[in-house]
C-alpha cells in the first residue's frame, strides 16, 4: 500500500519539481483526495515515466490491500437465554403442535413473542385473559382502565389495549388459541421457570428451547442466503452456563466489594436483582468521569435476577473472557441501543480482568429506517430484509426494462437516420454505448433467466451498498427508489459503469478482430506521452492511486480513549467509488476511447480503462459486491 504512494511522491517530487509535496503516511493518504497536479508544467517525458510505473502497479490483479487486517474468526452470538426467549417458548410449546406456521418460520416465531408479550401485559395489569378479550376487541375497556389509580399505569393499560387490537386484527387465530391455552396460567412465572431450567441444562428444556431457536435461525439463514451471507461459527450463550463458565466468573464477582446480592425485598420492599456498584468502582479506579469520561452517578450493572438466574449483561462478561483468551483484539458488533450496556460490560470485565478488557471494543452501529415504513416488535410489525429485497428487485427490473425501451428507441432512430447525417449517427452511437448491451428484445428462456440473474445481483448489491454507504453512527435511511436508480449514487450506478469499462474493452477487441485496429500492445510498450490531458492525470492521481491508503484508513483507525468508541469509516469507500466513477463519466463523454487512425492513443486509453476497471472492481469487492461484465 505504501509502495504505490511512495512511487508517486518520489517521481512527482524528484522528477517534476514538486519538492513541497506532503510526505504522508499511508493511513492519511485519503486526505490528499482534492490535490490536483498541473500536468502541463511537468512535461510529457516525466509524465510518461510516472504513468509507466503507476500503471504497472495498478494493473495487477488483485492488489493485495488487506493482507494485514484479515478477520481471523467471526462468531454470531446466539442469545438463547433471557426473559424474551422464555416468554416466546411459553407460547411456542402450545401453538406449534396446533397451528401450522403461516409465515416464514422466524417471522412466525416473532409473532408468537408479540402475542405472548401482550397477553403477559394484560396479566400484569391484573386482568383475566378470557374475560377481557371481548371487552378490548369491542373498545369497551374504559371502565376497567378507570379503576386503575396510577395515571402512568392507566396510560400504559390503554396502550396495551391498542396493541392487543392491532395484533388481533392480523393474527386472530393464533391469539384465540393462546388466550385459551394460557388462561389461568401465570405467563411470567412459567417463562421464568423454563428459563431457569434451560440455564441449568435440564434435558427437556434444552431439547425444546434448541428446537425453537434453531427453527428461528433456519429462517434467518434463508434470508441471509439471498444476500450471500453465511455465518461459520455460532456461540450459544446457554453453553457458557453448561460448561460452568458462568459459575466461575460469578464466584469471582461475588468476592469483590462491589457486588450486592439479589433480594426478594430491598429497602423499598420490592425484589431486586444482584448488581455491581460501578459508580464506586469508577471512583476507586480513578477513571475520568464527566466531560470526555464516564457519566456521573453511574448506573448499577445488574447481573442476576431476583430468582438468581443470570442476565445477558453478565453472560456478555463471561463470553468476553472466553473471546479474549483466544484473540489479540475483539470487536463486539452491537447496535447503538446497547451502548450503555456494552460500556457496563466493559467496566465489569475491567473489574476482574483488566488485560482482557483492554482487548475488547464495542463496534457500534445505528439502526436502519426505511422511507415510509415503521417497525414495532411489540406489535409484531416487522420490515424484513426479504421485503426490502423484493422491493429492490422490482425497482431494478422496472429500470432495466425502461433502459431496454430506450435502447430500442435509439436503435430505431439510428436506422431511420440518413447516412449523410454523420453527426447524428455518431451522437446516437455514443448514447447507445452508454445503455446496457445485455438488454435486448430476446424473450427466450435463456435470456429471461439471464435477466433474472442480473436483476437479483443488482438488487443484492443495492442493499449492500445502502448498508455501507453511511457512517456507522448515523441512522441509515434506505430509499428504495434511489437505491435502485443507476443515475443516483447507488450500486447500480457503479455496476453499470463497471460494465461500461468492459463494453469499451470488448468493442476494442472486436475492432482488433475485424482488422480495424492493431492488437493491444504490452503494458511496457504504451506511449504514455500521448495521455497529456489533466483529466487522465486527475483520475490516476486523485483516485486510482489513493485506493490502497483509503482501505487502510478504513480498516485500521486510531483507537480512541475510552469510553469513546472506535469508528471504522466504511462509508468513505462507497463515497470514493461514486466520485471516481463520476469523474470518469465526465472524461468519457468528452473523450473517445477508441480513436480511428490513432492506434497508439487508443492503446494508451484502453490500458487506462483496464487499470480503472481493476480499481473499481477491487473497490466493489471490498464492499461485498461482485462486479458484472454485462448488465
C-alpha 185/C-alpha 226 separation (Å) is 41
Each residue's pLDDT tens digit, 175-204: 999 999 999 999 999 999 999 899 889 999
pLDDT tens track for 10-65: 333 333 333 333 333 222 222 222 223 333 333 344 444 444 554 554 544 443 33
Q: Which three three-digit cell numbers place residue 140?
A: 369497551
- Chain centroid, CA 415 distance in Å: 47
Q: Torsion angle of alpha carbons 58, 63, 68, 74, nearest 10°?
A: 140
Residue 25 region, left (φ>0) first, then alpha (ψ -120 to 50), else beta?
beta
CATH architecture of 1-62+489-631: Orthogonal Bundle (1.10)
Cis upstream peptide for 162 (omega within 30°):
no
Instruction: Give domain 234-365's CATH number out of 3.90.660.10, 2.60.120.620, 3.40.50.620, 3.40.190.10.
Output: 3.40.50.620
pLDDT at 435: 45
Burial 479-499 (b: 16+ CB within 10 A, else e): ebebbbbbeebbbbbbbbbbb
Mean pLDDT throughout 226-232? 81
18-27, 363-372, 517-526, 570-579, range with the lowest pLDDT: 18-27
Pairing state between β 76-78 and 330-335: unpaired
Question: Is the bond preceding 62 in cis, omega lying within 30 degrees of 0?
Answer: yes
Beta-sheet strand order (sheet of 301-302): 259-260, 275-276, 301-302
Average pLDDT of the residues of the chain? 81
Domain borders along the chain are: 1-62+489-631, 81-226, 234-365, 381-463+473-486
pLDDT value, residue 188: 94
- Res. 4: pLDDT tops 90: no
Whose grid coordinates read 518520489? 10
Contacts of 274 (CB under 8 A, 6+ apart): 259, 260, 261, 262, 302, 303, 304, 308
Confidence of residue 413 (pLDDT cuts 50, 70, 90): confident
The pLDDT-based confidence of 218 (bands split at 50, 70, 90) is very high
Q: Report the predicted TM-score, pTM, of the whole model to 2 decimal places.
A: 0.75
Asked whether the beta carbons of 437 and 446 are under 8 A apart, the reply is no
Residue 395 is predicted with a pLDDT of 87
Any idea what the Cα angle at residue 387 is, between residues 384 and 393, rounded to 5°? Answer: 140
State residue 437's pLDDT score. 44
Q: Which residues pair with 365 in a beta bridge?
A: 335
Amino acid at each position: 500500500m505504501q509502495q504505490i504512494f511512495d512511487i508517486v511522491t518520489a517521481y512527482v517530487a524528484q522528477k517534476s519539481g514538486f519538492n513541497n509535496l506532503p510526505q504522508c503516511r499511508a493511513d492519511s493518504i485519503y486526505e490528499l483526495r482534492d490535490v490536483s497536479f498541473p500536468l502541463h508544467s511537468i512535461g510529457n517525458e516525466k509524465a510518461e515515466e510516472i504513468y509507466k510505473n503507476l500503471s504497472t502497479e495498478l494493473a495487477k490483479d488483485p492488489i493485495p490491500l488487506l493482507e494485514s487486517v484479515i478477520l481471523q474468526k467471526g462468531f454470531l452470538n446466539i442469545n438463547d437465554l433471557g426473559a424474551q426467549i422464555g416468554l416466546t417458548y411459553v407460547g411456542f410449546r402450545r401453538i406449534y403442535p396446533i397451528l401450522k406456521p403461516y409465515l416464514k418460520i422466524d417471522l412466525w416465531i416473532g409473532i408468537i413473542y408479540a402475542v405472548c408479550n401482550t397477553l403477559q401485559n394484560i396479566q400484569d395489569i391484573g386482568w383475566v385473559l378470557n374475560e377481557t378479550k371481548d371487552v378490548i376487541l369491542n373498545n369497551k375497556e374504559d371502565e376497567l382502565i378507570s379503576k386503575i389509580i396510577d395515571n402512568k399505569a392507566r396510560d400504559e393499560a390503554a396502550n396495551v389495549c391498542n396493541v392487543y387490537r392491532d395484533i388481533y386484527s392480523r393474527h386472530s387465530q393464533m391469539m384465540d388459541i393462546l388466550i385459551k391455552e394460557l388462561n389461568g396460567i401465570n405467563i411470567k412465572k412459567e417463562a421464568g421457570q423454563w428459563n431457569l431450567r434451560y440455564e441449568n441444562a435440564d434435558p427437556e428444556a434444552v431439547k425444546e428451547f434448541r428446537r425453537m431457536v434453531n427453527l428461528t435461525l433456519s429462517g434467518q439463514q434463508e434470508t441471509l442466503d439471498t444476500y450471500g451471507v453465511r455465518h461459520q461459527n455460532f456461540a450459544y450463550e446457554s453453553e457458557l452456563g453448561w460448561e460452568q463458565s458462568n459459575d466461575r466468573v460469578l464466584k469471582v464477582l461475588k468476592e469483590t466489594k462491589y457486588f450486592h446480592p439479589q433480594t426478594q425485598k430491598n429497602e423499598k420492599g420490592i425484589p431486586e436483582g444482584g448488581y455491581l456498584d460501578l459508580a464506586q468502582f469508577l471512583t476507586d479506579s480513578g477513571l475520568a468521569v464527566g466531560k470526555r469520561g464516564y457519566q456521573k452517578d453511574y448506573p448499577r450493572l445488574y447481573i442476576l435476577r431476583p430468582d438468581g438466574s443470570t442476565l445477558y449483561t453478565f453472560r456478555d462478561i463471561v463470553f468476553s473472557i472466553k473471546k479474549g483468551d483466544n484473540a489479540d483484539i475483539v470487536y463486539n458488533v452491537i447496535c447503538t441501543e446497547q451502548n450503555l450496556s456494552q460500556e457496563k460490560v466493559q467496566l465489569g470485565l475491567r473489574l476482574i480482568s483488566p488485560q482482557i478488557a483492554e482487548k475488547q471494543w464495542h463496534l457500534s452501529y445505528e439502526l436502519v429506517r426505511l422511507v415510509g415504513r415503521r417497525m414495532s416488535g411489540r406489535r409484531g410489525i416487522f420490515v424484513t430484509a426479504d421485503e426490502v429485497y423484493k422491493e429492490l428487485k422490482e425497482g431494478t427490473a422496472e429500470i432495466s426494462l425502461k433502459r431496454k425501451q430506450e435502447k430500442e428507441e435509439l436503435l430505431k432512430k439510428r436506422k431511420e437516420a440518413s447516412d449523410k447525417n454523420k453527426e447524428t449517427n455518431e451522437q446516437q452511437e455514443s448514447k447507445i454505448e452508454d445503455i446496457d448491451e445485455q438488454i435486448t428484445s430476446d424473450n427466450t428462456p435463456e435470456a429471461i433467466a439471464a435477466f433474472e440473474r442480473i436483476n437479483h445481483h443488482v438488487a443484492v448489491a443495492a442493499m449492500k451498498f445502502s448498508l455501507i454507504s453511511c457512517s456507522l453512527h448515523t441512522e441509515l435511511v434506505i430509499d428504495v427508489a434511489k437505491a435502485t436508480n443507476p443515475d443516483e449514487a447507488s450500486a447500480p450506478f457503479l455496476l453499470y459503469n463497471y460494465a461500461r469499462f468492459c463494453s469499451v474493452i470488448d468493442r476494442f477487441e472486436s475492432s482488433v478482430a475485424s482488422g480495424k485496429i492493431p492488437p493491444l500492445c504490452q503494458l511496457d510498450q504504451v506511449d504514455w506521452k500521448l495521455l497529456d490531458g489533466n483529466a487522465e492525470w486527475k483520475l490516476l492521481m486523485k483516485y486510482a492511486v489513493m485506493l490502497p491508503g483509503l482501505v487502510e484508513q478504513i480498516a485500521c483507525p486510531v483507537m480512541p480513549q475510552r469510553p469513546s468508541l472506535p469508528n471504522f469509516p466504511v462509508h468513505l469507500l462507497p463515497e470514493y467509488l461514486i466520485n471516481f466513477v463520476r469523474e470518469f463519466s465526465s472524461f468519457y463523454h468528452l473523450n473517445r476511447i477508441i480513436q480511428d487512425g490513432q492506434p497508439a492513443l487508443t492503446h494508451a486509453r484502453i490500458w487506462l480503462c483496464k487499470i480503472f476497471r481493476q480499481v473499481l472492481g477491487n473497490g466493489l469487492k471490498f464492499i461485498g459486491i461482485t462486479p458484472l461484465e454485462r448488465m
